[in-house]
A and B are shown apart, each in its own frame.
Chain A
Amino acid sequence: MTKSSAASSADGAGRPEGRGAGTGSGTEWETVIGLEIHAQLATDSKIFSGASTAYGAAPNTQACLVDLGYPGVLPVLNAEAVRMAVRFGIAIGAHIARQSVFARKNYFYPDLPKGYQISQYELPIVARGAIDIVLDDGSVKRVGVTRAHLEEDAGKSLHEGLPGVTGIDLNRAGTPLLEIVSEPQLRSAKEAIAYMKKVHTLVRYLQICDGNMQEGSFRCDANVSVRPRGADKLGTRTEIKNVNSFRFVEKAIQYEVARQIELIESGGAVVQETRLYDPDKGETRSMRSKEEANDYRYFPDPDLLPLMLDEEYIEAVGAELPELPDAKAARLMAQYGLPAYDAGVLTASRELADYYEAVARAVPAQAKLAANWVMGDLSAALNKEGLDIGEGRMPAERLAGLLTRIADATISGKIAKEVFEAMWASGDSADRVIETKGLKQITDTAAIERAIEEVMAKNPAQLAEYRAGKDKLFGFFVGQVMKATGGKANPAQLNELLKKKLPE
């Protein structure tokens, strides 16, 4: 551990994470991170054309004349992409531009068919919003969102299996993107991930992005720099491009921070450049092809008039926003008495929260129990099979049926786990599993007493010892009776009756 990391402040700032073999010059380093998140908007058609945005089609089968940049064609903006951007803007409390402008970003690249990308530059549709993240110590940090703008995605370059050439697939070209740019206010890889996850949650709540990182629907560029703690001036930053998992973003940032500190401490200087994260090697490397100084020559796209939005439109979009994660978590705490942790976990996705609430509404008295089951056994079972909550393997009313039987003492919590497993495997209701497997709890005092008497009769030695004062053997008798009843004896009743019977 270096001195600097030991001295990191309470808000988690200033840890030079993943520190390599540093020399420990004694300088305290502060990490400064800004994220540019690219969220593909979940429209059916592209941002400027009527081609499909569906993922996974054969190469260039979803690239129409507009996407190919054919001579003479013109872009026409997708109304739904605009609505989605406005939804996001309202959700983060940002300013929605009454007039925004599309600009051309000019550069040559084979996956960029027109030789320019239509984006927004000086007047983005969304500006000056904020997103709250929860830090490790439970405190809340507000991260500024500088802007979010609409732009078109590029195509893909394919290298594998093509000796000496690169293949260009333009199916993705023209897919709508919302680029969400944070202020450089993130101070560690952990904060960066918390922010990124929060944005991920938010875009899915808003149903504007499917959040699928494997398919590239949600990607991130990280601008990373370090500076001596207390310095006003930002250090030279590097940009890590297109990292497509939370884990890789964290690792890439950690690596990059360590690299930069080591570089500076050994007398070098950080070069402003674009770097690529190599997940196999766990390191970032300079992207030579993008090294050349770019002059993008932004100017307003003359094919697209300014986009004007009126109050009425913005209000209408705002009125149809769903309940957002922070508000939902607060409500779950108030309405169901959940602790903050549970509320946070359960609101990580809208589907999970909806599911939880459906269960909790069915068994209102068992809201906390419902939270435990949803976060515990159910989540574990889903994870194990790689399923989503929305896939219907365990409908909410079925889980609620199980919780009802726990609540009315038909089964014990322990038996419930067995019932759950059977329900999961068979798709049957809790009642049916309890019925067919005969797992109904025994609450008949006479039956339990009979079982106790049999056990006492079979174990005279232990009974004698217990009566002689070996209290520990109480548990032995509980176990034996449970065994005899197939675990179905009501535990509370059993305890009470044993306490009465054993000393007799």
Chain B
Amino acid sequence: MIHRQTLARLVGDLRARKLSSVELVRACLERIEASQPALNAFISITAEQALDAAQAADRALARGDGGPLAGVPIGHKDLFCTAGVRTTCGSRMLENFVSPYDATVVERLKAAGAVMLGKLNMDEFAMGSSNETSYYGPVRNPWNTDRVPGGSSGGSAAAVCARLIPAATATDTGGSIRQPAALCGVTGIKPTYGRVSRYGMIAFASSLDQGGVIAASAEDAALMLREMAGFDRRDSTSVDTPVPDYVAGLDAPLEGLTIGVLKEFFDEGLDPDNERCLREALTVFTRLGAGVREVSLPNISLSVPAYYVVAPAECSSNLARYDGVRFGHRCESPRDLQDLYKRSRSEGFGAEVKRRIMTGTYVLSAGYYDAYYLKAQRVRRLIAADFERAFGEVDMLMGPATPTAAFPLGAKVADPITMYLNDIYTISANLAGVPALSIPCGFARGLPVGLQIIGPHFAEQRLLQAAHRYQLETDWHLRIPERFA
């Protein structure tokens, strides 16, 4: 079955003309359509454009041309702007928004020959950890459809998990790639802040947002990231350093590398079943020749409260542009300007987005700025310094991606804090801007468990290499839920 092939294999088969892109895209589209009632992974399916692009890819391949990903079907998280295609950001606010331009990531993957099949479901404006805040309905976990897939890139993780597509773009502001990747048992990488252009990626929290990939394996993620990463003159926070060939470095041995086990992450909050999987995974790395030692990041416990100041603050400002004037939802017959603003925004945004906007408005307002916003930014520096110190001692850090495996839908909606704490292990990497990935490392009561690997700035290659070596030794990443096998 072609859907079971890795992206790496598909690239080869397409180039060798063992398989046509049209054939592959048709097969994927069928699987997507069939999965929608159960998973709801896609907000928009762009079958027609996809088939056109597949034909073009086949023609290019026939000529011996085509980019590195020619003909490969992918999906984009629905916050990457796609020219001429609806881009909703999971919100009613942008229900009818058709982007006039392509995000840089979209443009690059297009140039590499990848074929977009549709736009993936997500938490509204990427605010959520369970995909339950999407205006377009929750995404369900392919391993157990009563469970959440994680968020905010829940559609991306579920679609790859169910092998509807071999890879998908995603974004990570506080764990939105790694947490759903962990809960769905797939590989997800959040690169260093500035590695992937944010141009055209609808902003949640600009100093934390980073685009990345969810794929079935580290090798597949490397293939995608190699095309996505790099300097973009349209994003002045993107970094102008050369992009290494992530694929070429995958096979390098791990001997001589030191892994720091994050002491604070193995706390009482970690589910014992998850911990068992993680400890086992660490022994694999020891077998592979890496040194393993415990490392402490003393300020890490403050990362969640710091994040829930910084991210809402930035979001409250980033989402002010949705005012019903130039694009987006506008209320019926506004009485006056204030009514236009207030009703358009209240109707367009869901409850979680409103809460975050209000939290951010509060922490930035006169009298609270110093106590919350500035304090959080100081704490942020402490956390970044913790990482810097740790990376002076070890080459990478390992720990859990999430405290537990996927939880049932509805379990954490009532209390925002319970939901926020689900990101307790992922948030610190965003605050410090360091790269991190999650790979599947076992199952807890039938649900996947994610191992998180965190590296110093721009060490994506090392993270992918470690993940790849691990995946050569294990087969967790090859497991597919029976229903979608």
Direct contact of A and B (CB under 8 A): yes
Residues of A in contact with B (beta carbons under 8 Å apart): 65, 68-77, 104, 106, 108, 110, 113-116, 166, 168, 295, 297-299, 301-305
* Chain B residue, CB-CB nearest to A168: B325
8 Å CB interface, B279-322 against A: 313-314, 316-317, 319-321
Q: Quick check: A71 and B321 within 8 Å, CB to CB?
A: yes
From A72, A104, A115, A298, name the one whose CB has the most chain B CB atoms within 10 angstroms: A72
From B207, B317, B341, name the one whose CB has the most chain A CB atoms within 10 angstroms: B317
Q: Is the interface of A mostly helix, strand, loop or mixed?
A: loop
Other A-B contacts than A71-B87, A106-B317, A297-B361, 8 sampled, CB-CB below 8 A, are A71-B203, A72-B103, A74-B236, A74-B237, A76-B233, A113-B325, A115-B321, A304-B237
Q: Quick check: A115 and B327 within 8 Å, CB to CB?
A: no
Q: What would 9 A/B residue contacts be, using CB atoms closer than 8 Å?
A: A74-B199, A74-B235, A76-B236, A104-B317, A108-B320, A115-B320, A295-B366, A305-B236, A305-B237
Query: B320 contacts which chain A residues (CB < 8 A)?
Result: 106, 108, 114-116
Q: How far is the CB of B39 from chain A (nearest CB, A)?
A: 26
Of B202, B236, B314, which one neighbours A71 at CB under 8 angstroms? Answer: B202
Query: B100 contacts which chain A residues (CB < 8 A)?
Result: 65, 70
Query: A71 contacts which chain B residues (CB < 8 A)?
Result: 81, 87, 89, 94, 97, 99, 202-203, 321, 327
Q: Quick check: A302 and B314 within 8 Å, CB to CB?
A: yes
CB of B323 within 8 Å of the partner chain: yes
Query: A108 contacts which chain B residues (CB < 8 A)?
Result: 320, 323, 341
Query: B425 contacts which chain A residues (CB < 8 A)?
Result: none
A297 to B362 Cα, complex, angstroms? 9
* Chain A residue, CB-CB nearest to B206: A302
A297 to B363 Cα, complex, angstroms? 9
A297 to B313 Cα, complex, angstroms? 9
A153 to B337 Cα, complex, angstroms? 21
CB of B365 within 8 Å of the partner chain: yes
From A65, A71, A302, name the one whose CB has the most chain B CB atoms within 10 angstroms: A71
CB of B373 within 8 Å of the partner chain: yes
A68 to B201 Cα, complex, angstroms? 16
Of B79, B80, B321, which one neighbours A114 at CB under 8 angstroms? Answer: B321
CB of B266 within 8 Å of the partner chain: no
Query: B231 contacts which chain A residues (CB < 8 A)?
Result: none
- Known contacts A70-B327, A71-B94, A299-B373, A116 near B202 by CB under 8 Å: no
Task: Mark contacts of B194-209 with chain A using CB atoms, 8 A cut-off: 1 yes-contact digit, 0 otherwise.
Answer: 0000111111011100
Q: Quick check: A69 and B326 within 8 Å, CB to CB?
A: yes
Query: B205 contacts which chain A residues (CB < 8 A)?
Result: 302
A73 to B199 Cα, complex, angstroms? 6
Q: Quick check: B326 and A65 within 8 Å, CB to CB?
A: no
Q: How far is the CB of A150 from chain B (nearest CB, A)?
A: 14
8 Å CB interface, B69-101 against A: 79-81, 87, 89, 94, 97, 99-101
Query: A295 contacts which chain B residues (CB < 8 A)?
Result: 365-366
Q: How far is the CB of A328 from chain B (nearest CB, A)?
A: 38
Query: A168 contacts which chain B residues (CB < 8 A)?
Result: 325
Query: B337 contacts which chain A residues (CB < 8 A)?
Result: 110, 166
Q: Quick check: B81 and A72 within 8 Å, CB to CB?
A: yes
Query: A106 contacts which chain B residues (CB < 8 A)?
Result: 316-317, 320, 364
Query: B87 contacts which chain A residues (CB < 8 A)?
Result: 71
Q: How far is the CB of B225 from chain A (nearest CB, A)?
A: 20
* Chain A residue, CB-CB nearest to B93: A71
CB of B234 within 8 Å of the partner chain: yes
Q: How far is the CB of A167 from chain B (nearest CB, A)?
A: 11
Query: A76 contacts which chain B residues (CB < 8 A)?
Result: 233-236
A74 to B87 Cα, complex, angstroms? 17
Q: Quick check: A110 and B237 within 8 Å, CB to CB?
A: no
Q: Quick check: A303 and B94 within 8 Å, CB to CB?
A: no
Query: B200 contacts which chain A residues (CB < 8 A)?
Result: 72-73
CB of B369 within 8 Å of the partner chain: yes
Q: Quick check: B317 and A297 within 8 Å, CB to CB?
A: yes
* Chain A residue, CB-CB nearest to B203: A72
A283 to B115 Cα, complex, angstroms? 64
* Chain A residue, CB-CB nearest to B97: A71
* Chain A residue, CB-CB nearest to B341: A108
